[in-house]
Amino acid sequence: MRRNETPEGKSVRLLRVGEQVRHALSDILMRGDVHDDTLASHMVSVTEVRMSPDLKHATVFVKPLLGSNEEAVIKALRTNTAYLQSEVARRVNTKYAAKLKFLADESFDEGSHIDKLLRQPGVARDLGGDEG
């Protein structure tokens, strides 16, 4: 393992730049800087940004709060990608302006599905730990 890598094998630099991009996007969306009716009417959480090793591409995971109109929000973000890329490039000082790709964050859905499974009576009984 290289010195500048986390145990998961991701470079600290990639994680740091990803976090800077996430902060910049969150700030832009929170301020309402994007002139788009869909984005203006929805609170959007930027949950994670994964940078490519060359820092030229950023995969942005987003979740509209309350999970409403997810497709419309993703479409609005994709429509405004050029503006968002230029704003992020202005705020995050890297050699290249990263190309942004917006995806819905499914991890919340997975988590609630697992939680629902764990609460099923048969599973809850098995996890109860009664050595009877």
- Which residue ranges make up each domain of the chain? 12-105
Burial class of 15 by CB neighbour count within 10 A (0 to 12, 13 to 18, 19+) = middle
Angle separating helix axes 81-91 and 70-79, nearest 10 degrees: 70
What is the pTM (predicted TM-score) of this model?
Answer: 0.75
Model confidence at 103: pLDDT above 90? yes
Q: Is the pLDDT of residue 109 over 80?
A: no
∠ CA 106-24-81 to the nearest 5 degrees? 65
d(CA 33, CA 12): 30
Domain 12-105, CATH class in plain words: alpha beta
Neighbours of 73 (CB within 10 A): 25
The radius of gyration of the chain's CA atoms, rounded to the nearest angstrom, is 19
How do residues 31-85 score in pLDDT, each as one tens digit? Answer: 988 999 999 999 999 999 999 999 999 999 999 987 678 999 999 999 999 999 9
The pLDDT of residue 102 is 97
* Residue 58 near residue 99 (C-beta atoms within 8 A): yes
